[in-house]
Amino acid sequence: MKSITTYQNKKVLVVGLAKSGVAASLLLHRLGAFVTVNDWKPLSENKEAQSLLDEGIKVVCGSHPVELLDEGFEFIVKNPGIPYTNDLIKGAAQKGLPILTEVELAYQISEADIIGITGTNGKTTTTTLTHHMIEAGKKPSYMAGNIGTVACEVAQTALENETMVVELSSFQLMGIKDFRPSIAIITNLYDAHLDYHSSREEYADAKVAITKNQTKEDYLIVNGDQQELLDRVQFTDAAIIPFSTKKELDFGLYVQNGGIYFNQEHIINLQDVVLPGAHNLENILASIGAAKLTGVSNEAIQSVLTSFTGVRHRTQFVREWNGIKFYNDSKATNSLATKSALNAFSKPTILLCGGLDRGNDFDDLLPYLNNVKAMVVFGQTAPKMAELGEKAEIKLIKKVEDVKAGVWAAAEIAGEGDIVLLSPACASWDQHPTFEVRGDIFIEQVNKL
């Protein structure tokens, strides 16, 4: 961990707890800042805030009072989940206070090299693949960021000869100032999180901010099949390395004659890659690019791609039972992700879907339901999902209470050779606190069959 004095004897307000807020508060305290933490949950119900009190950190709980800004803070560190429309955050912005997220702190103290990965879809799979490839190449690597382990926590122990592979959301990237990864990846760019961002333009700007501080010594790996994305990153000083699943490239990563290539060098045959789904090919290409730039051998890359079957909750193979294969894609919290999951399979599929109703319809899924022979629907959007199935002329549509019941319903419907796919196309919050909990219930019930 680098020794920095940026926050020494400075008043810093951390807004929002959860894992990132707690980690940021403790780090700032360690760096000599006078930290105040503000969280909406009342102190009596807030174990995280209570733990910070025990460390001698001031906490203000139960609301986000704008009056806090009268205390003369010099920095704000914001939990990514708190929108910029929050009155306290708006007040800080009007005062011209720097509003950071904890990944900026991670960069400021990190001795380790940083690979930053963002995009609408595929971030977690690309992060995980890149991490495994680097480790297979005998170099210490840590996964951090939006994938679950707080970046500024990992950065405190990662050493100079090691690598942090950091998954970054648009929420996190809106709060960076100097953050500069030596290798950045943007997997793709589609409409998402428009309930958080004021516009699609703001969302896109947040994504490409990953490269705004890169220099000519750095690399940006970017989806070469999306011209809009290529146009948006032309401002960067980094060396742009495109990847494409659709065309051969003179420079970059591409697929040709059943093989994957990097700068004309054959890396692996497609038939040897075990991770299912055309959408995962983009993630694989991007990961190979980062691994090769880090000095990982083809043999190490091949060892990962011939054994890696998927990330938990992301088109994750769970089990084969009575000739039926069960896949957990609980991370599919929007239609776009469910489209990718459905595209991954050509066999007859029983689709489990439904969840939080955000007011949208799901007609964009219609062209992707050709292989779906039955639907099991649940949650707030069950009626909408059933209507979708009727439009697609799917003969068997079964409404159930929840995912748990859905597994048993799907097992009764499915026959040998079929796929049972949990890919909800909706957030989980109507019935579960996270998509991980929803996916874990699915796995648990599948293993009980």
Q: How much is the average pLDDT of 433-445?
A: 96
- The C-alpha atoms of residue 140 and residue 115 are separated, in whole angstroms, by 13
Sign of CA dihedral 113, 119, 122, 124: positive
In this predicted model, which residue has the larger pLDDT, 200 or 401? 401
**Mean pLDDT of all residues in 232-252:** 96
The CA distances from residue 158 to 100, 141, 260, 313, 335, in Å, are 21, 8, 32, 27, 37
Mean pLDDT of 248-255: 95
Place of tokens 């020794």: 3
Distance CA 224, CA 254 (A): 9
Please give the Cα distance from 62 to 244 (Å, whole number): 49
The β-bridge partners of 259 are 256, 269
Domains contained in the chain, CATH given: 11-100 (3.40.50.720), 103-305 (3.40.1190.10), 316-446 (3.90.190.20)
Does 278 have pLDDT greater than 80? no
Largest alpha-carbon pair distance within the chain?
67
- State yes or no: pLDDT of 197 exceeds 70: no
Structure token digits, residue 210: 């990953």
Q: What is the spatial distance between Cα 283 and Cα 341, in angstroms, rounded to a whole number?
A: 14
315 pLDDT higher than 90: no
Report the pLDDT averaged over residues 409-429. Answer: 97
Looking at residue 287, its pLDDT comes to 98
Burial of 9 (0-12, 13-18, 19+ CB in 10 A): exposed
383/136 Cα distance (integer angstroms): 47
For 84-136, write each residue's pLDDT tens digit.
999 999 999 999 999 999 999 999 999 999 999 999 888 999 999 999 999 99
Flag whether pLDDT at 146 surpasses 90: no
What is the rounded CA–CA span in Å between residue 230 and residue 200?
Answer: 16
The whole-chain average pLDDT of the chain stands at 94
d(C-alpha 446, C-alpha 422), whole Å = 11
State both tokens at 9.
Answer: 């004897």
> Is 0.85 surpassed by the pTM of this model?
no
CA-angle at 292, arms to 286 and 295, nearest 5°: 145
Contacts of 129 (CB under 8 A, 6+ apart): 283, 284, 287, 304, 305, 308
Instruction: Write out the two tokens for 343.
Output: 């595209």
Query: What is the rounded CA–CA span in Å between residue 12 and residue 37?
Result: 9
pLDDT at site 196: 65
* CB burial of residue 245 (10 Å; 0-12, 13-18, 19+): middle
Identity of residue 271? Q
Res. 71: pLDDT tops 70: yes
Please give the pLDDT value at position 192: 59
**pLDDT score, position 193:** 59
Residue 58 has pLDDT above 70, yes or no: yes
Which pair of structure tokens corresponds to residue 339? Answer: 């489209």
pLDDT the model gives residue 7:
97
What pLDDT is recorded for position 76?
Answer: 98
Give pLDDT, residue 194.
Answer: 60
Distance, in Å, from the CA atom of 441 to the CA atom of 439, rounded to the nearest integer, reads 5
How would residue 381 be classed by pLDDT, with cut points 50, 70 and 90? very high
Q: 278-293 vs 298-305: helix axis angle to the nearest 10?
A: 150
Rounded Cα distance between 427 and 434, Å, is 8
Are 16 and 120 in contact by the 8 Å Cβ rule? The answer is no
pLDDT at 276: 75
Could you tell me which residues come within 8 angstroms of residue 44 by beta carbon, excluding any fewer than 6 positions away?
A: none
The pLDDT score that the predictor gives to residue 198 is: 73
Strand partners of residue 376 = 352, 398
CA distance 366 to 432: 26
* Residue 90 near residue 135 (C-beta atoms within 8 A): no
pLDDT range class, residue 195, cuts 50, 70, 90: low
Does residue 294 carry a pLDDT above 80?
yes
335-375 pLDDT, tens digit each = 988 998 998 888 999 999 999 998 889 999 999 999 999 99
- 268 and 298 Cβ atoms separated by less than 8 Å: yes
Q: Say how far apart CA 135 and CA 137 lie, in whole Å.
A: 5
**Vertex 124: Cα angle to 119 and 127 (nearest 5):** 90
